[in-house]
Amino acid sequence: MTTSEPVAPREEGLYLLLLKDTADAVAGTASLDEALAATVDLVAERLGFDVCSVYLTDERGDLVLAATHGLRPEAVGQVRMPQSEGLTGLVAEGEQALFTSRADEHPRFKFFPETGEERFRSFGGVPLVRRGRCVGVLTVQTVREYRFPANEVVALQTLAGQVVSLIDVKRRLAPSGPGRPATPARGLLVGLGTSPGVGLGRVAALGVDPLRAPPTPRPFAGEAEELLRFARARDAAVRELEVFAAQIEAEHGAAAAAIFRVHEELLRDPDLEARVRARVVEHAEPAEQAVYQAVEEVVAILSGAGPAKVREKADDFRDARAQLLRALGVAAGPAAPDGDGGVVLLAEVLTPAQTAHLDPARVVAIVTQHGSETSHASILARSLGIPAVVAIPDLVASVAEGERLLVDGDNGFVFQDPAPQIEAEYRRRGEAARAAARVVAAELAARAPAGPLVAGVELLANVGLPHELGAAREHGAAGIGLLRTEFFFLQQHAWPTVKEQVAFYRRALQAAPRGPVVVRLLDAGGDKTLPYAPAHDEPNPILGLRSVRFLLSQPEVARAQVEALVEAAALEQADVRVLVPLVTAGWELRAVRELLEEASAARGVPPRPLGMMVEAPSVLYQLEHLLPLADFVSLGTNDLTQYLLAVDRDNELVRQYYSPYHPAVLRALDWLRTRLATEGRRPSVCGEMAGDPLGALALLALGYRTLSVRPRAVLPTRCLVHCVDEAALPALRAEVLAAPTPADVERVLRRALRQAAPFLLEA
């Protein structure tokens, strides 16, 4: 028996570096052929394979060799095989990875002499899946018999998932082949799409804000005069912010204005005033220099504080300082770039103040060299409806002033000097997306009269911002399965009073669809820090003082929220239900119950139903103690998946390990639903998994019948319920639970969805 060669240990970080370099190489190519060649060369050279090839499906579904490193170059475009032939065909046909150290012993092995592959013994292949369909296969081969290590298999599968979207862009936007010469963009830049949509315009670079540079020195006018100038400027800046925030709120909602409420509070900060006064009195500094240096002191403290959210607060102080310096007469840069037509704003970093001053009628997109999905600028860009792509390496050095850019905020792509066919393709894509939505609506309209095939399904909506309530009602949600109250708290500049909360909840209840409204108590902490809450420098906030832990550490805050909910529900005579996030112990439910009963007794009304969220795995092992304390149960699949798999889903280094289709997650969900059924409980699912067609199908197969999804997902999910045959669900459940990997689970679900409602894969 031949033994395979030992696997040499890989250098730490090699796989992550390969992912990055492959993305950069593909992004920097001008055509599909070049992109494929760059991919196979990098994979083969970095991982030491003798062969790396890419096969793409043609219009008939056959596999065609599109690029290779190691096989005969003349075989490219010539080798063709149906998916029923060979190991590569088996990978595509089954949409499943295959790795073998003795390819010639596999029953599906087929030798293709034109490739020159007779000397290769080992074979590995991973499918390239895009929008629920296999569009190709990435293969690797070695001359020697090679035992593929598990981490290498995972790396190639992850690489396939990342590269396929870039390959897809090249294939669609820069087609090549006989009679179809490529006419690509000058370049393709890849970043993180943080605000959806597409914008096309000319670049206007936003340089360093003069208000972030030290002001020009001027003579000291005396202590009393400088302090008076500071006081007047602060009052003027606060008034200006109040007016501006009111305007932004009226035009774009409270979420967009919330940051400026924070800036108002920072300008009133006694510590900041004391620092300015000290510099004027002790250092004889003019008001401008005193303001600038005082904020620099605060920023220095915050910038070294550790967590990104704390460092982001430094930008808030800088923006507040800019308001003060303007009021003191320091000249500012242009709030928006000059020029005619649509403008793509380019910057290294964009502050919230700079973003909010932009005119969406002129600024069609934003691209920045740094940033994140949760940065204030990204949040405001979404509120203003401006497409944005951030975190583009070397952006400023790669793009020139006045250059035309097409910005794809959905996928994170930026096309430089896009060719007419690229612009036409994006217009076609926009129409295709609208057409797909029309197909879903038409299918639902045609099937609805016959009634749903899956009986007893209740579809609710998850909402956070007020405008989403109207969308939930418009799309036919039967109620609100999750009203996230933390967004309201994030919009405030101080702890909201009971009266303020009652007003907000009443407006929400009036706008909500008829039916139950499940209100989740404040879920702050972790990645959702309140600017006015006590600061905690936690090494791991996701496992720290968050959710109900945070709320119960602020008893008066908890009491005020519960009182406001009871009051609003009574005044509106609404079916309000109170949900406790991240429950891990019975005393947390008892503590909230006591507050609820106390507030209800004071109002003379029956207590509202109290529910618990299943997000922590510890709940699964103490249901017999927790269920008697809760009136209803809601599953948060986002956190449950995160905690079950020990994966921070926001950590780029481990994000590929996060999957709601992991066998452990599905088996936990199946066990929980079965266990709750024995207690006569019907749980709802309010995580993102329920809003995805594959996830919703998995949940239906596992027996869940109450799903709460984002408003725009209500219609596709309703359509799914009318398309899936309930009689087929038990067999699907068995197949899903037997699948050994997340990729296998998704493959099973894709096949089932293609049979029942293929159009939902494009929705």
- Domain of 376: which CATH number? 3.50.30.10
In a domain, 426, yes or no: no
Paired residues of 520 in beta bridges: 484, 579
Residues 217 and 164 in one domain: no
Q: Which amino acid is at 146?
A: Y
One domain, residues 164 and 199: no
Answer whether residue 526 shows pLDDT above 80.
no
Tell me which of 686, 719, 722, 723 is the catalytic residue. Answer: 686
Can you tell me the mean pLDDT for 419-440?
79
Q: How confident is the model at residue 687 (pLDDT cuts 50, 70, 90)?
A: confident
Residues 76, 164 within the same domain: yes
Residue 181 belongs to some domain of the structure: no
Quickly list DSSP for 596-615: HHHHHHHHTSPPPPEEEEE-
Query: Are residues 222 and 268 located together in one domain of the fold?
Result: yes
Residue 433 included in any domain: no
In a domain, 438, yes or no: no
CATH of the domain at 527: 3.20.20.60
Top-confidence residue, 21 or 453: 453
464 is a domain residue: yes
Q: 235 lies in a domain?
A: yes
Q: What is the pLDDT of residue 370?
A: 79
Give the pLDDT mean for 224-229: 89
Mean per-residue pLDDT, 107-120: 80
**490 and 595 part of one domain:** yes
Mean of pLDDT values over 346-356 = 70
Together in a domain, 465 and 573:
yes
Active site residue 376: yes
Q: Is the predicted pLDDT of residue 651 greater than 70, yes or no?
A: no
Classify each residue of 27-50 as buried b or exposed e, where b means 16 or more C-beta atoms within 10 Å of its C-beta. bebbbbbbbbbbbbbbbbebbebb
637 pLDDT more than 50: yes
Mean pLDDT of 622-643: 95
| Residue 137 and residue 221 in one domain | no
Q: Provide mean pLDDT across the span 29-39.
A: 81
Of the ranges 233-237, 240-244, 457-461, the best mean pLDDT one: 457-461
Residue 320 has pLDDT above 60, yes or no: yes
| 45 Cβ contact partners less than 8 Å away, ≥ 6 residues apart | 69
632 and 495 within one domain: yes
Whether 336 has a pLDDT exceeding 50, the answer reads no
Question: Which of 372, 395, 418 is the C-terminal boundary of a domain?
Answer: 418
Average pLDDT over residues 295-304: 77
In the predicted model, is pLDDT for residue 322 greater than 70? yes
Instruction: Give the integer Cα–Cα distance in Å for 46 and 114.
Output: 26
Contact 136, 39 (CB under 8 A): no
In tens, the pLDDT along 97-110 reads 899 999 888 988 88
Please enumerate in sequence order all residues whose Cβ is within 8 A of that of 286, keeping only pairs 6 or more positions apart, or say none: 217, 218, 219, 220, 221, 226, 280
Same structural domain for residues 26 and 125?
yes
Domain termination site, one of 361, 393, 418: 418
The token pair at 290 is: 């005193």
Q: In total, how many domains does the chain have?
A: 4
134 is annotated as an active-site residue:
no
Output the domain CATH number for residue 241: 1.10.274.10
Whether residues 54 and 201 share a domain: the answer is: no
Q: Is residue 710 part of a domain?
A: yes
Please pick, among 376, 475, 662, 722, the residue that the annotation labels catalytic: 376
Which CATH number does the domain housing residue 85 bear?
A: 3.30.450.40
Mark whether 714 and 654 lie in a shared domain.
Answer: yes
pLDDT-derived band at 63 (thresholds 50, 70, 90) equals very high
HSE-up (13 A, CA, CB side) for residue 447: 21
Determine the Cα–Cα distance for residues 480 and 203; give it in Å rounded to an integer.
Answer: 42
Is 600 a member of any domain? Answer: yes
Contact 415, 406 (CB under 8 A): yes
End of a domain among 327, 354, 370? 327
Q: What is the pLDDT of residue 448?
A: 87
107 shares its domain with 87: yes
Residue 186 has pLDDT above 80, yes or no: no
Domain that holds residue 344: 190-207+335-418
**Ramachandran class of 521: left when φ > 0, alpha when ψ lies in -120 to 50, beta otherwise:** beta
